[in-house]
Chains A and B, each alone.
Chain A
Amino acid sequence: MKPAPFTYHRPETRTEVDALMAELGAEAKILAGGQSLIPIMNMRLSSPAHLIDLNHLRDEHAEPVLDDGHVAVGPLVRQSSAERSALVTDRVPLLAETMEFVAHPAIRNRGTVVGSIAHADPAAELPAVLAVLRGEVVARSSSGRRTITAGDCFRGPLENSLEDTEWLEEVRWPVARDHQGFAFEEFARRSGDYALCGVAARAERSGSTTTVALGYLGMGDVPVCIELPALDASAIDTEIEDAVAEVVEHQLDPGDDIHATVAFRTHLARRLGVTAARRAASNAEARGES
């Protein structure tokens, strides 16, 4: 249970990180919080030849910042800092609500928001939240920057869509608008464990109709984001059951494992989906009135 030897790099600027990534590519892993990387290194499931430690980068924000319609989170913002951020609570309420479901407090004190997105674990909460909010990530390399939508960011289990020489410098969480409401629900055997199923909901009230999008975690190889058909706002309580059941049956493809059968996961997806959709719709209504 000790990591294999590796070469350790401690750059001080983002440009130095670019140069290291250009040189080392797939041989290198970025180390920020390390709360997902170090366990798999301890278990020798991963033994990267090089680690590039971001913790000593100069002039990095320790907290999320507001930037042109989104809340931007830099590479060294700890999950606990996002959890405590008044800006996040105010502008990205879904992220604020979800933070306490991410691992445990001691893990969140070290783990970073950007790291959780880069790790692309389909059972993790933050990728599903980013997907349902239609957020973006910013990848950079020595040849420049590019913005990737959340929908294009996750390619498979623990696989993001970055090139070998790219690394993530920012995750952008869209600011909640009026008439939008959100909710997060998950079921785990123990608090802080990977959830058997979880769902983030975004609802939007427009005139007399409400549209709901659900972002599922633990139900496929990547976060699964589904838009429900627009529903008449006054009938949402009765119609949401069937709408969720329909998408769960046709658009989710959960796996069987020692923790839960397909039938149980499907049941959870339906119940949690309905609960989250209802709550998000009712929050959308409340925000619209305020």
Chain B
Amino acid sequence: MLRHALRRLLWALPTLLATSLVLFFVTTLAPDPMRTKTPGAPSGPEVDQARRARFLDLPRFLNLAPEDVRSRAAAAMAHVAAADAESESSAQELRRLGGAALPYVLPALEALEPDARRRVAVALVPLAERMHLSAADDLAQPEAAVLFWTRLWDDRALDFSRPAVERAVRRLAEHGSEARESDVTALDTLALSEVVRAMTPRTDPVTLARLTRIAQHATERGVIVQPEATREETARAVADWSEWWFAHTTDFVALNGASRAIAVVTETRYGKWLKRIVSGELGVSLVDGEPILSKLRARAPMTLWLCALATLVSWTLAVPIGAIGAWWRGGAFDVATSAALFLLYAIPTFVVAELLRRAAPAGPAGATQLTLPVVALAAGSLATLSRWQRTAMLEVVRQEFVRTAWAKGMRAGRVLVVHALRNALMPTVTVAGMHLPTLFGGAVVVEEVFGLRGVGFETMRAIEAHDAAWLMAVLLAAAVTVTLGLVASDIAYSALDPRVRELLGARQGRSAP
């Protein structure tokens, strides 16, 4: 039994992967800012930033030549050295890559022509200032700049090694001081990976202030957390930094060996997107800047209550209606309920909700607030579920064991409940999972009509704001819930039905399909 449950769960994994592909395809429907050339639209670096945040600069599924800090630095250096048309923007790029590029730029200086060497050294001068290594005036002469950079590498190459950087940041995080902060500032972007990792919502405010100050100084972007910041501000800043780091990791980290091989798959649009979702980083809402996950957590209870209550109501009504209708099929009750439910089945949920909202007394409050939404949502489910129940019951009533029960002279009530209904419930339980998508869709409409502040209500606001992050999160949450619900009802079915249980037991001797 356990084995069956585990196998069923395992089988849900490829399904979830397929779901992720479908949802990824949906995200690609959002317009690429590069392609929408409308006059007056932001352009240049802002567009680049927007594209990178959505990984639009990466290939979709396979990245055979993933870029990292080494390749970026080499390319930028080549442009600066050649003094070609792109040398100005390349010099900027070199400064943006910053300290992380030095271990690759400085050793390569030697191999350059003297003129080229001077150009690169001069291009790096603002960086020296940013790293608090020297004042710009001291390096005004190209010769002085070249001398400064070659000396720096000869003297301090060890400080730029990975263990040294890790140690410096660890010390700062444990016992922060001005001196240690300036140590890390001197490493510039080289320390970013450790610095961003050390930022967590639980880090103490003073350290967090130091860390964000260093990161802001090195990248010339983002926010600095003040020591007296509120908890929400801190959480938001940390989320912002980790999201930025996630999109820009390879700008400051070199890929080699195994990490390069993995990057072929992970440094892609789909890879990044999936990794972010699996690690629970769903981004920040466009509507109010709140992290998606905490917003989802805040809104989900209302929706889940709505769905759970509606399910409860519709089941308690649907099972007897369907069972009794099938038992006395063709009778007055069957005909009446069938006709009524058929009509109910055709009425869209939004019309039911709208009519109920009008019928409601003005300003419902308190516990009664949920009554009408639940009724509206249950109405749609009731029609579907009772028809399933009726069909299942019709099937069972025909079975031999029911006839046997009659033949033994059993009371009608006992035959109905013990022999027929119990068996007729099984198929309904299995298909109940299939009803979940309709239920979720209905919940969106019902929440919108009644103004209940659940997930559906927020989704409508997100649609108005074109908030892709929230919409994807909701679609994903719904799809995962439905998949797991289907698995659960499947396992429940095999656990409840002795025939299936036996079948599984017999099959377990053989190899799994």
Chain B binds chain A? no
Binding site for B on A (CB under 8 A): none
Binding site for A on B (CB under 8 A): none
